[in-house]
Structure formats: structure tokens, C-alpha cells
Amino acid sequence: MILLFDVGNTNVFIGVSDGFKIIDTYRLNTEVTKTADEYYIQMKNLIDFQAVKHIAISSVVPRLTEKLKEIAKKFVGIEPLIVGPGVKTGLNIKTDHPREVGADLICDAVGLDDDMDPALVVDLGTAIKYIYVKHKTILGVIITPGVNVSIKALVGQTALLPDIDIEVPKKVLGTNTIHCMQSGVTYGVAAQVDGLIERIKAEVNEDFKVILTGGLSSLIAPLCSHPLVVDQDIILKGLLKIYNKNEQIRK
């Protein structure tokens, strides 16, 4: 069994794989103050660590990466694969500074099916990432504030606006404060997705597939007017592909 960790600023997305496909997934809150032992106790209620043979990690939170490495060594007795410099991905990155491209963006791009080319991956995470991929090459990226970040900024910078649950109101135009805010962060994000798709199409001058991923993808997808596919596991699929590629090289 292969254990896959995608560590983001809000969630740790965990995948269990048989080496070919993702069997189960789990999400834990990202809490950098937790010790490796505390994370292990929390995870062992979900995962049979005795069956784990390999671990792969994609992370944008270095402090948590170290704790997962400790879990891998202490409780499984293995050295995990960590996506970063020196790891083969099969992906080309045509940006000004390729080493700055995060492991999450790389895994999103690698996770695309071969028939999804060219493609735009829209990852609704702590930050919303738009990753344009063609012929296994990242050609450009857009990064905007995510839904939770926008809500925290709005609530934190205003005296009277309350914290809210992320739900889709029945109407775009709200008639009370909570519905007004919910409309802004759901219909607003959907409008952003649609608008940026149009601008990217005008810039690249070609049509492409759109894949929506991330914890809120199922909530936002029905609000978008452009055809798109929801794949919440694409980042774990990419991480699994990267693990398998490097395992073949080691062999």
C-alpha cells in the first residue's frame, strides 16, 4: 500500500493507493503546532500503517513535511519520497523561475489524463491556482486568493461583517448580510473562473479542457457557465504517477 500526502496550508489531503489507483481519501486540518506523534495517533484511526510499504509527500508547508518524514521513519521504517529538486516528474516547466513552482502545481499538472491536452487545471485551495498545461509542459499559472482567505480578510478587516459558512444562496442578489457574503464568495469565484477561462483562451488562441479540483470544486462547478470536469483527486493521482516514475528509475 502506498500512502500519499498532499500538504496544503488549510488541509492535509491523504490518499491510500494500491499503486495503480486511489482507493480511499481523507482530509485533516493543517496544524503546524501538532507533533508527529499527535498526527500519527489521529491518522492511525483511519489508516492501517502496518500495510503501508511506501510514502510520497507533496507539501507547501515545510514544518509539516518534517513531521510526516518523522512519522515515515519512526512508525513505518522508510524514507518517504518528497516532491522537490532531484525528483523526476516527467513535466517540463516553462516559467521564469521553474524552481519556484510549488509541488502542488506540479502534481496537479502531472495528474492530468493523456487525453486532457491542452488543459487548464483550476485548483480551489487556500490560494486558487490556474495551471495551463500543454504537451506535459506548464506554460503559465495564475494565482488568486482562495475562498477561505477572502472570507478571513473580509471579516478581519470589517467591524460588522460576521464569519460565515460557505454555502450557495438561492439568489445572486442577497437580501441579508450572510447571503450577500455567501453570494460574493461562491458566485463571485464562479464568475472569476469563467472570466479567466475567457481571458486565457484569448491569450493562447486555442480551446482546452478545464478541470476543477480542490475541496470546494463540487460546490463551485455547478455555478460556472463553461464546460468543465470535476476531479478532486487529481493532485493525488499526480503524486502517485511521480512516485511510480521514481520507483521505476530506482529499480
Q: Under a CB-based contact definition with an 8 Å cutoff, are residues 107 and 87 in contact?
A: no
Task: Specify burial of residue 129 (Cβ count, 10 A radius: 0-12, 13-18, 19+).
Answer: buried
Q: What are the two backbone dihedrals, phi and then psi, of residue 136, each rounded to the nearest 5 degrees? A: 55, 35
The dihedral over CA atoms of 14, 232, 238, 39, expressed in degrees to the nearest 10, equals: -10
Task: Specify burial of residue 93 (Cβ count, 10 A radius: 0-12, 13-18, 19+).
Answer: middle
Distance CA 48, CA 36 (A): 17
Catalytic residue among 37, 48, 96, 104: 104
Query: Ramachandran region of residue 80, left (φ > 0), alpha (ψ -120 to 50) or beta?
Result: beta
Q: Does the active-site annotation cover 104?
A: yes
Q: Under a CB-based contact definition with an 8 Å cutoff, are residues 10 and 126 in contact?
A: yes
Distance between first and last Cα of the chain: 18
Annotated catalytic residues are 104
